[in-house]
């Protein structure tokens, strides 16, 4: 994934944090660990070692470890279930919820393991805030609760206004934040095409998030806004596919970028002269900035980013894992498959 070169404070929704935590334990061994091991004073013993090909047996929690009244164990389990429940092999046990020296701030400690015994169990911890809606894990501020994706889902329903394909209904909404010059965004497109086939009842929205380290990205985004304005969503997705296919041209200076974009406009069936003129207007510049601001308001700081009903999922993950997470989110949201 490509990150903003000079990101704002590194906060992220549970969707993103859950994605990275899942990645670190499942399919992205090198990903940043969002939930670190508990320190020695966490009140929990060392993580148990599983026997070969057997699930770890966690020790019974000590009632003395539950000194805080909030959050409750049920809320913590609901939070972890929303985050990790898509993985049938993932198991966890809340070991303690401790008071801290700061009024209203609690420390939560849990074991995390794998039913197959292939992954060594770890101890994780996070700090629950007094508002009951956020936690701090490592250097991340993360949405918390039994339904941690709800606020971002509402935000997307209200403000994700990019070109879309699929159904007009927002019951199942996929919102892709992408940068036309981002190579990982190009690599994620086959997954997006497969999702469109496998989820015909979904709405797929494209939102521009040009990153500052890509000099041609903002111009490409402006072209895309104008293609949608002049030709509609069908023309836009033809344009987008053509830009991603010819992405190398965006790296060949101003002339290469213009040639690539004009060729993509022609592929979409529109007049490059009209689209270029449109792309230079203040109105279009404002639309591109508004889309990027939406990404920042969702605490997204990298591309590609895919939000499914407010939950960030790893757009470039192996497709079977990606689909598994989305099917689980459908289940959480009560959507009939």
Q: Which two tokens stand for residue 271?
A: 């007049």
- pLDDT cut 70: percent of the chain above it: 84
pLDDT band with cut points at 50, 70 and 90 for residue 118: confident
- Nearest CA to 261 out of 229, 289, 219, 205 is that of 219
Predicted TM-score (pTM) of the model is 0.83
pLDDT surpasses 90 at 204:
yes
Return the pLDDT at 178.
98
pLDDT at position 48: 65
Q: What is the pLDDT of residue 24?
A: 34
What residue segments make up the domains of the chain, in order of their start? 2-146, 151-332
Residues 6+ apart with CB under 8 A from 199: 166, 172, 174, 326
The confidence band for 336, taking pLDDT boundaries of 50, 70 and 90, is confident
SS3 206: strand
How do the residues of the chain divide into helix, strand and coil, expressed in percent and rounded to 5? 40, 20, 40
Helix (H, G, I), strand (E, B) or coil at 102: coil
Among 293, 206, 264, smallest CA distance to 4 is for 293
Contact 177, 304 (CB under 8 A): yes
**pLDDT tens, 96-114?**
999 999 999 999 999 999 9
Of 17, 227, 46, which is closest to residue 140 (Cα–Cα)?
17
Positions of E strands within 100-218: 106-114, 122-128, 134-137, 140-143, 164-166, 173-178, 203-208
* Range name among 27-36, 244-253, 254-263 with the lowest pLDDT average: 27-36
- For the stretch 7-11, contacts whose Cβ atoms lie closer than 8 Å and that sit 24 or more positions apart, written own/partner, are 7/301, 8/296, 8/301, 10/139, 10/140, 10/301, 11/140, 11/141, 11/142, 11/299
Distance separating alpha carbons of residues 282 and 280, to the nearest angstrom: 7
Under the banding of pLDDT at 50, 70 and 90, the label for residue 54 is: confident
Helix pair angle (253-267, 272-279), 10° resolution? 120
Give CA–CA dist 72/78, Å, rounded: 10
> pLDDT by residue (tens digit) across 82-93?
999 999 999 999
pLDDT at 272 over 50: yes
Provide mean pLDDT across the span 219-231: 98
- Residue 19 φ/ψ, nearest 5 degrees: -60, -45
CATH class of 151-332: alpha beta
Return the half-sphere exposure (C-beta side, CA atoms, 13 A cut-off) of residue 122. Answer: 16
Q: Say which residues have a Cβ less than 8 Å from residue 325's Cβ, sequence separation at least 6.
A: 22, 86, 308, 311, 313, 314
16-31 pLDDT per residue, tens: 333 433 333 332 222 2
Q: Of 6-10, 75-79, 275-279, 284-288, which range is least confident?
A: 6-10
Residue 4: pLDDT band by 50, 70, 90 thresholds? low
pLDDT above 80 (res 6): no
Give the model's pLDDT for residue 325.
97
Give the integer Cα–Cα distance in Å for 17 and 131.
19
**What's the whole-number mean pLDDT along residues 227-239?**
98
CA dist., res. 135 & res. 148, Å (int): 11
How does residue 15 score in pLDDT terms, banded at 50, 70 and 90? Answer: very low
The structure tokens listed for 211 are: 């990153």
- Confidence at 256, pLDDT banded by 50, 70, 90: very high
Question: How many degrees, rounded to 5, is the angle at CA 80 between CA 294 and CA 32?
Answer: 65
**Digit-coded pLDDT (tens) for 126-167:** 999 999 999 999 888 889 999 999 999 999 999 999 999 999
Q: How confident is the model at residue 306 (pLDDT cuts 50, 70, 90)?
A: very high
């Amino acid at each position: 994934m490509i990150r903003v070169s000079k990101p704002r404070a590194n906060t992220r929704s549970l969707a993103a944090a859950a994605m990275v935590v899942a990645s670190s334990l499942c399919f992205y061994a090198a990903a940043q660990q969002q939930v670190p091991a508990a320190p020695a004073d966490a009140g929990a013993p060392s993580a148990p070692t599983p026997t070969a090909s057997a699930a770890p047996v966690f020790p019974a929690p000590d009632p003395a470890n539950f000194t805080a009244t909030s959050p409750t164990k049920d809320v913590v389990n609901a939070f972890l279930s929303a985050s990790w429940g898509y993985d049938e092999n993932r198991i966890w046990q809340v070991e303690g919820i401790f008071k801290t020296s700061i009024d209203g701030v609690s420390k939560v400690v849990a074991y995390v393991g794998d039913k197959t015994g292939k992954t060594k169990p770890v101890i994780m911890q996070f700090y629950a805030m007094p508002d009951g809606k956020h936690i701090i894990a490592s250097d991340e501020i993360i949405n918390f609760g039994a339904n941690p994706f709800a606020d971002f889902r509402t935000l997307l329903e209200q403000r994700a206004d990019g070109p879309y394909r699929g159904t007009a209904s927002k019951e199942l909404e996929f919102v892709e934040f992408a940068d036309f010059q981002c190579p990982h965004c190009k690599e994620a497109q086959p997954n997006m095409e497969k999702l469109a086939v496998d989820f015909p009842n979904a709405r797929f929205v494209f939102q521009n998030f040009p990153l500052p380290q890509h000099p041609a990205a903002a111009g490409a985004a402006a072209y895309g806004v104008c293609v949608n304005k002049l030709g509609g969503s069908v023309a836009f997705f033809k344009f987008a596919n053509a830009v991603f296919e010819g992405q190398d041209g965006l790296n060949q200076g101003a002339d290469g970028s213009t040639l690539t974009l004009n060729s993509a406009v022609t592929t979409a069936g529109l007049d490059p002269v009209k689209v270029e003129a449109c792309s230079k207007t203040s109105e279009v510049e404002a639309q591109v900035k508004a889309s990027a601001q939406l990404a920042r308001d969702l605490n997204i700081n990298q591309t590609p980013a895919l939000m499914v009903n407010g939950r960030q999922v790893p757009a470039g993950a192996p497709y079977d894992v990606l689909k598994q997470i989305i099917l689980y989110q459908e289940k959480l949201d009560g959507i009939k498959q």
